[in-house]
Structure 1
Amino acid sequence: MEKISILGFILAILYFITTELACNGHTRIDNNVQSEQKALIDFKSGLKDPNNRLSSWKGSNYCYWQGISCENGTGFVISIDLHNPYPRENEYENWSSMNLSGEISPSLIKLKSLKYLDLSFNSFKAMPVPQFFGSLKNLIYLNLSGAGFSGSIPSNLRNLSSLQYLDLSSKYLDDIDSEYLYEINSEYFNNLFVENIEWMTDLVSLKYLDMNYVNLSLVGSQWVEVANKLPSLTELHLGGCRLFGSFPSPSFVNFTSLAVIALNSNHFNSKFPEWLLNVSNLVSIDISENQLHGRIPLGLGELPNLQYLDLSWNFNLRGSIFQLLRKSWKKIEVLNLARNELHGSIPSSIGNFCNLKYLDLGGNYLNGSLPEIIKGLETCSSKSPLPNLTELSLYSNQLMGKLPNWLGELKNLRALYLSSNEFEGPIPASLGTLQHLESLNLGLNEMNGSLPDSIGQLSQLEQLDVSSNHLSGSLPDSIGQLSQLQVLDVSSNHLSGSLSEQHFWNLSKLEYLYMDSNSFHLNVSPNWDPPFQVKSLRMGSCHLGPSFPAWLQSQKNLQNLGFSNCSISSPIPNWFWNISFNLQWLNLSDNQLQGQLPNSLNFYGESQIDFSSNLLKDLFLFQSKGQMTTFTELAFVGNPDLCGAPLATKCQDEDPNKRQSVVSDKNDGGYIDQWFYLSVGLGFAMGILVPFFVLATRKSWCEAYFDFVDEIVRWLFRGRATYAKNHPRRR
């Protein structure tokens, strides 16, 4: 019995304790939930959300609000992801609809479990990075890239000892499509700087650091020592940070985890930093767009994990491409050595680069011919050379010889740039088997023969440039099948023959058409309606006449037009001047155009025009609208019957002063003539009415006035009678 009493007493105590703990625990959880919710509401109240992006932020279940994630079971907020999903540079309208701005409330400090904060690509227009971010001590991820912050990056971010990912980068205006620049305020780009970077050594957990286009010019060479002290750092992005001088070397290399280093678009003026060859974990190196000089180390080809190397646009890096490409490059996928001073010929061993996706050696001094046969059949599992290559750029070198057939075996190739070399011989028909090819540029070479009909099989082709070669024959009808084609340039060859509607029937995406300096004869129906809307059209030296091409009337986006020497002998139709206001460049020279130019030519801005060597006639008077002053005499010479400014030839009976007066009178709109006639009329009326009213109201003046008039009349009659008496009429 006593044992039962003791057991009951113990159970009662346990029940009381557990009940008390449960109740208190539930109360604490409720308090925490209310605190987290209030912190989020306060944060939202400081934001400007014109398109109601945060419309879901209402009610008590905040863990389901857009951009919010909570810890399971506790309701603690662990993630706020409000990044703008649309890139501002090419989807401006979508970006603006999702854009947040305003103030960032310090209420975020109350979110004690917050680990992830992403506010990137919004527009906090030139506000500084909030100091209180340094108090969010549990943060693992912080992304403020491209959100418009400015000023000095606060050093108290050093308190974020758990931080693994930090992105304070910005886009650079050079990376933005010019079409969207006018819509983008510079305040929407981070304008941050750092005076002293030592505080970053406390970020001992940091793995990813992106400070692209943060101004580090005051940091000097400190950055390399700081990065060397971050034991977990795997990615370092310091592109466009205004770093300059010699590329610094650490006192000892401790980059045991570093896999990615990107220092592009700076001003380093030194040799390649060979200490990087000791960082065996490197996967990616980008030191493009600097001023590096000297030899490219051959040891780069032996880095066991290297997949990406970009040393382009340094201009002064030297080396033998034959020696470089004979190294193993075991995992290389992207190799960009363009715009340097590489020399030598390309070895056949390049076929062994089984993982290579992108190769750019353009703008160097490579010579010799491409190897007729390349290795790789035995090495690569696909039993084909360069099986993963998608882009091959060898433009602007001194390469020569015929194009090898193995180019047609690069089954995944999307872009082939071989322009500005000395290649000769025919274009291989095997290129027509590259079903993924989007860009083919063979311009500025010495190639001959005809354009192969197989080109029409390239269903994905967007750009075709074979300009400035020695191609002959006719243009294959199959060109008209290229439904994705945007650029077609066959200019400056020896091509001839008839161009029918079949050549263009499916080119609905065509925007740039260059066929000039050939001998084509356009043979289309008078009511032909082209399937394309081009921006730039050059067909000089093609036979388009004798009538001015009526199909041109359908081209509403035209900015550049070249119809010189096209055997056109008709007047310029009136509808042409309705589409000319968008033209920035116009050449209608060396035809037999007739008729009179309009007094007012409406072109776009500082346009360049050429009407020379035609049969235009009559007086040509400019009514200046700003841009007209840029037109020179050379634009109109060679028209025997054309006279007037800006030509030196004066028209008959042309008085410059009189012409100026006439133009001035026209500009005055008859203002002076109207006042002249009005004043004459008023003077005439006043001369009659004033004396009438005076004589009507003053009887004595009236009698005296008419007595005076009568006396004058009598005097005149007496004089007349005396004259008649003294001078009788002769019979």
Structure 2
Amino acid sequence: MEKLLAIELFILLLCLLISFSVGSRDGHLITCLASDREALMDFKSGLQDPNNVLSSWRGNNCCQWYGIVCDNNTKAVVTVDLHNPYLNSEFESSSGRYAFWNLSGEIRPSLMKLKSLRILDLSFSTFSGIPIPEFFGSLENVQYLNLSNAGFSGLIPAHLGNLSHLEVLDLHNVGWNKLYAENFQWITGLISLEHLAMNGVNLSLVKEWAAPLNQLPFIVELHLSRCDLSGYIPSMASLNFSSLAVIDLSFNNFHSTIPNWLVNISSLQHIHMSEGGLYGRIPLALGEMPNLLSLDLSLNYQLTVSCSQLFSKRWEKIEFLELSWNKIHGKLPLTLKNMTSLILLDLSSNAVVDGIPSFIGTESFPCRNPLPNMQLLDLSLNQLVGQIPYWLGQLENLVDLDLGNNLFEGPIPTSFGSLQNLANLDLAENKLNGTLPSSIGQLSGLSTFDVSSNQLEGIISEIHFSKLINLTFLDLSSNLFIVNISSNWMPPFQVRVLIMSSCILGPTFPSWLQSQKGIEHLDLSNASISDFIPNWFWMGMTNLAFLSLSQNQFSGEIPESLGETCNPLEIIDLSSNKFHGMIPSSLANCSVLKALDLSNNNLSGAIPKSLGQLQQLELLHLSDNQLVGKFPPSFMNLSYLQTLDLGNNELSDRIPSWVGDGFSDLAILNLRSNAFFGEVPHELSKLSSLQVLDLGENDLSGSIPVSFGDFTAITQKNQIGYDISMISQVGSYQNKLVVNAKGQSLMYTKTLYLVTSIDLSGNNLSGKIPHEMTKLCGLTYLNLSRNHITGSIPESISNMHHLLSLDLSNNQLTGSIPQNLSSLSFLGTLNLSYNNLSGAIPYTGHTTTFEASSFVGNPNLYGCPLPVRCLRHGDGHVVNGSNRGTSNDNEANDSDGFIDEWFYLSLGLGFATGLLIPFFILAMKRSWSDAYFDFLEVVIVKFLVFMRRTRINLGSTKIKPPHKE
């Protein structure tokens, strides 16, 4: 009994001890400083917390509140950490989780009452545009202050310089709200600072930034990217950066060389100065920095050094070397083999020449595996030649290999099949030949594979893809591949991008595509397919954003069902096939469609009005079909349209005047070879972005609108190729247009943005050429031929400096050809034939390059290159060999003949005078006379030959009959 009582007492005592222990612990938490608790509650009252993030901020236990940390001994609050926990470092304003956090409102000065506060983190909150409170400079014990991407804007308070204990200051901002500073003097007060991040802060007003930073003796990391710093990076006589390990000055607007003081900071481990506006020679001393791990000088464009000099240095610890988009030149040296720590080497977009050294992987190399740590090697966009070396297949850790856009020849090394860690392989745009190694099919980690635009050939079969289970991007285009895959093949991959254009894939439609459920980009253009498109394709490709089946022999109708699954489609290119029937009205359901190309088919019927619902449409090509009807009024809604190509159809209508008001972005308008009638609307001149206007081969009448001289994009010649370059490409779709110029039809694709053209040929236009049109100084092609245009060629046509082709033939133009036409130095094609032009052809300068065919059919023209050299009259009124001259013409011709006769008479008298005067002088000295008469004999012989040829030419001109065509 006593034993049982003892046990009960022990249990009771144990319970009391546990209760006391818990109570003590709770008491420890509850007993946070009352002043701190009141300060936090006041701070909370100023915040807007719609999602109740601070729901735990209640009661007396403030040390248990979310984001609050107290000192174990003093119970004082030492940390207020309210950063967005759903984000690590990057600003993701579109994130739903970011929106969920949504702390905003007012920051109360009650935070100053937290006397022991050492850490304050409000990063990635949403304080929409409020300034950083000045009282933050009074938080005297704060060691860590993070206000990055919290929505603050305005001037950074200089009071922050009072925080002498601050070790970390993070104000970096990649959002819309901009912080800025006027000077950096305040920063010298941060004597304990180790980490400064001001990425994205506007420092354009800061005149001196380097010197104040040099006064921070303990600074370890310095991040000043995207700060609008400009000018020359200042020099520094002495350096205090004894501990600096990281410096980031990338994405600024410097116009500077790399400062010499940089290479003297031996503690530096990471240098980031990409896209900074740097120029000049890359200091070779960078390669001798003992602790340097990463160097990024990419995208400066003007930095230069030879490869042999650059890689002759030790680069002891370098792991990441990014030098792309500069002017690094010369050959890759064998000394590359010494950089055994390299993880990343990016020399893309430079001027590296010759081949990749072929000896790196031989026995002379000290390590069995060349460059054993290499994971990314990018040598693309250079001028490398020769064969791809076998040793690249020995880089067993390689993840990313890009050798695209070079001049490599020969086969793809079979050793590539050993790169089991390879995820991305780009060999595009070279001159590689031979077959595709079947060993590529063993790369189970391969995600991206691009061998497009080479000279590869042979059969592609299932074995080439046997283990590519992670493949998401495949581009075999523009080679000579024959894809021979069985109809029941089940690919091991699910690609998102598949490009097999210009391969032989047909004649049947590839049925294995039915297994690809997530494909987003499909290009089977020019693939020798002559088949119907199966229904499962239209219904199953629900994720497609890009579809190109152009330049095949597809037949049948485009089904209405296309509109049921096309919601993600942005690009549809079915051009140059044999589709017939009507354009499906269901295409209106493709709400995000930006480019629709159905040109060069056999489509008929009217253009569906429903296409006017495609409000995001930018490019519309319906040319070369048999479409009938009118210009759809619903097109008025296509406010983003840049290209409207309806040429070579059977449309019959007046050109609506609202076209000039409705398409502010329209750069190309092609209505050629239809049956449009009526006058050309003068409102078209309101198309401020118009670059190409082709109304040729219609039934338009009236005069050319005077306002056609107001096309803004063509008059502003300095902006051509810049403002309107958007018309060349939308997404991955290459825009194209056939332009009738230089007497032929020219297809423009990548250079389309350079073309400016107006073609009104083959209509019934009358009246004069408006001299206002000559304000179009950026115009390259002008064709007004085969109309009924009268009047003269404007003298101011010489203002059209960029003209490459001018065709005014088959009109009723009169007057003379402007003499200043010869100043059009770019003019390569000129056709003024079959008009009523008269007078002498200006045969000087650039006009001497044109043949007679440019001027035939103008009876009153004379001079080179026409066989009629001049108009003369003799016994009768002879003009160009016919009796059509007027008395005024004859008088002019008589004057010309009179001038010719006096010219030769004066020439003879002058010659005789020059001969006789020295004769009497030379008779006095025999040696002079011998030399003189020897020289004179040569001159006389040459002169007589010249006179004989001149007479022969004059005689042939007088008796030659007029040339007619």
Q: TM-score, normalised by structure 1?
A: 0.78
- The DSSP-based 3-state class of the residue aligned with 2:257 is coil
Judge conservation of contact 2:242–2:265 (CA < 8 Å) in 1: yes
Give 1:41 deviation, angstroms.
2.1
Structure number with greater CO (CA < 8 Å, separation at least 6) is: 1
1:557 lines up with 2:560 in the alignment: no
2:323 to 327, 337, 356: 337
CA distance in 1, matches of 2:528, 2:172: 55
Kindly indicate whether the alpha-carbon contact (under 8 Å) linking 2:129 and 2:151 is maintained by their aligned counterparts in 1. Answer: yes
What CA distance in whole angstroms lies between the structure 2 residues aligned with 1:475 and 1:566?
20
**How many angstroms does 1:593 deviate by?**
1.2
**Residue equivalent to 2:413:** 428
Match of 1:529 in 2: 514
1:109-508 matches, within 5 Å, as 109-171=112-174, 186=176, 189=177, 191-220=178-207, 222-374=208-360, 383-477=368-462, 478-479=464-465, 481-500=467-486, 505-508=491-494
CA distance in 1: counterparts of 2:451 and 2:513, whole angstroms? 27
Matched, 1:570 2:540: no
Q: Which amino acid aligns with 2:53?
A: R
Q: Which residue of structure 1 aligns with residue 497 of structure 2?
A: 512
- CA separation of 1:275/1:629 partners in 2, compared to 1, >3 Å: closer, same or farther? closer
Which range moved further: 443-452 or 82-91?
Answer: 82-91
Match of 1:587 in 2: 573
Mapped to 1, the partners of 2:126 and 2:343 lie a distance apart of 36
Partners of 2:615 and 2:264 lie apart in 1 by 64
The answer on whether the counterparts of 2:143 and 2:166 sit within 8 Å (CA) in structure 1 is yes
CA RMSD of aligned residues (A): 2.9
What displacement does 1:55 show? 2.6
Measure, in 2, the Cα distance between the counterparts of 1:543 and 1:368: 37
Residue by residue, what CA displacement relative to the aligned partner does 1:9-33 show, whole Å, maximum 9, x if unpaired?
xxxxxxxxxxxxxxxxxx9999862
C-alpha change, 1:527 and 1:396, in structure 2 (3 Å) is closer
CA contact (8 A) 2:560 2:584 kept: no
**Matched residue SS, 2:580:** coil
Aligned 8 A contact 2:295 2:320 in 1: yes
The aligned residue for residue 71 of structure 2 is 71
1:519 is paired with a residue whose SS is coil
| Separation in structure 2 between the aligned mates of residue 396 and residue 169 of structure 1, nearest angstrom | 34
Identity of aligned residues (%): 42
How far has the Cα of 1:428 moved from its partner? 1.4
- Compute the displacement of 1:436 (Å): 1.7
d(CA) in 2 for partners of 1:584, 1:497: 28
Q: Tell me how far 1:53 sits from its aligned partner.
A: 2.4
Worse-matched range after superposition: 606-615 or 392-401: 606-615
Unaligned runs of 5+ in 1: 1-26, 173-185, 661-731
Structure 2 CA distance, aligned partners of 1:358 and 1:530? 37
2:622 and 2:516 map into 1 onto residues whose CA distance is: 32
| 1:422/1:643 CA distance change after superposition, 3 Å | farther
Distance 1:516 1:31, change over 3 A: closer
Does the CA contact (< 8 Å) of 1:533 and 1:557 recur in 2? yes
- The residue type paired with residue 39 of structure 2 is A
- Letter of the structure 2 residue corresponding to residue 496 of structure 1: I
Alignment of 1:4-83 (within 5 A): 33-83=33-83
- Take 1:336 and 1:422, find their aligned partners in 2: how far apart are those partners? 22
Summarize the alignment of residues 602-617 of structure 1 with structure 2, pairs less than 5 Å apart: 602=588, 603-604=590-591, 607-617=594-604
The alpha-carbon distance between structure 1 residues 499 and 219, as it changes in their structure 2 partners (threshold 3 A), is same
Contact 1:480 1:507 in 2 (8 A): no
Match of 2:635 in 1: none
**More displaced, 322-331 or 516-525?**
516-525
Contact 2:451/2:476 (<8 A) preserved? yes
Q: Secondary structure of the equivalent of 2:385?
A: strand
* Structure 1: distance between partners of 2:28 and 2:534: 83
Distance 2:382 2:419 in 1: 24
Amino acid at match of 1:436: N
C-alpha distance in structure 1 between counterparts of 2:365 and 2:165, whole Å: 45
Secondary structure at the counterpart of residue 209 of structure 2: helix
**How much has 1:92 moved relative to structure 2?**
0.7
**SS of structure 1 residue aligned to 2:505:** strand
Question: Quick one: structure 1 residues 331 and 108, their matched pair in 2 at CA, closer, same or farther if it must change by over 3 Å?
Answer: same
Question: Do residues 650 (structure 1) and 650 (structure 2) align?
Answer: yes
Aligned residues: 611
Q: Tell me whether 608-617 or 133-142 shows the greater mean CA deviation.
A: 608-617
Deviation at 1:159, TM superposition (A): 1.3
Q: Give the TM-score normalised by the residue count of structure 2.
A: 0.60
Contact persistence 2:509–2:532 (CA under 8 A): no
Residue type of the alignment partner of 1:218: L
Distance 1:631 1:56, change over 3 A: closer
Contact kept in structure 2, 1:528 and 1:551, CA below 8 Å: no
Residues 553-600 of structure 1: per-residue CA shift (max 9 Å, x gap): 211122221111332121222212333454332221222212222357
Shift of 1:48: 2.3
Secondary structure at the counterpart of residue 204 of structure 2: coil
Match of 1:674 in 2: none
Q: CA deviation at 1:106?
A: 1.6
**Distance in 2 between residues matched to 1:444 and 1:129, nearest whole Å:** 52
Indicate conservation of the 8 Å contact 1:134/1:156, yes or no: yes
Give the equivalent residue in structure 2 for 1:724: none
Distance in 1 (alpha carbons) for counterparts of 2:365 and 2:194 = 36
Closer/same/farther in 2, CA of residues 617 and 529 from structure 1, 3 Å limit? same
Give the Å deviation of 1:71. 1.2
Contact 2:501 2:525 in 1 (8 A): yes
Contact 1:353 1:376 in 2 (8 A): no
Partner of 1:84: 84
Q: Distance in 1 between matches of 2:347 and 2:218?
A: 34
Deviates more, 1:473-482 or 1:585-594: 473-482
Amino acid at match of 2:206: V
TM-aligned CA distance change 1:61 to 1:555, over 3 Å: same
Instruction: Give, in whole Å, the separation in 1 of the partners of 2:77 and 2:437.
Output: 64
**Could you say what secondary structure the match of 2:481 adopts?**
strand
Separation in structure 2 between the aligned mates of residue 657 and residue 306 of structure 1, nearest angstrom: 67
SS in 2 for 1:63: helix
Distance (Å, rounded) in 1 between the aligned partners of 2:476 and 2:352 = 26
Q: How far apart, in 1, do the equivalents of 2:434 and 2:618 lie?
A: 41
- In the alignment, is the contact (CA less than 8 A) between 2:393 and 2:419 conserved in 1? yes
Q: Distance in 1 between matches of 2:187 and 2:255?
A: 26
- SS of residue matched to 2:460: coil
Do 1:80 and 1:118's aligned partners in 2 also have CA atoms closer than 8 Å?
yes
Structure 2 counterpart of 1:94, one-letter code: R
Query: Contact between 1:343 and 1:367, CA under 8 Å: does it hold in 2?
Result: yes
Per-residue CA deviations over 1:305-361 (Å, capped at 9, x if unaligned) read 111111111101111012111210001111111100010111222122122111110
- Which is further off, 567-576 or 146-155? 567-576
Q: Show the counterpart of 1:178.
A: none
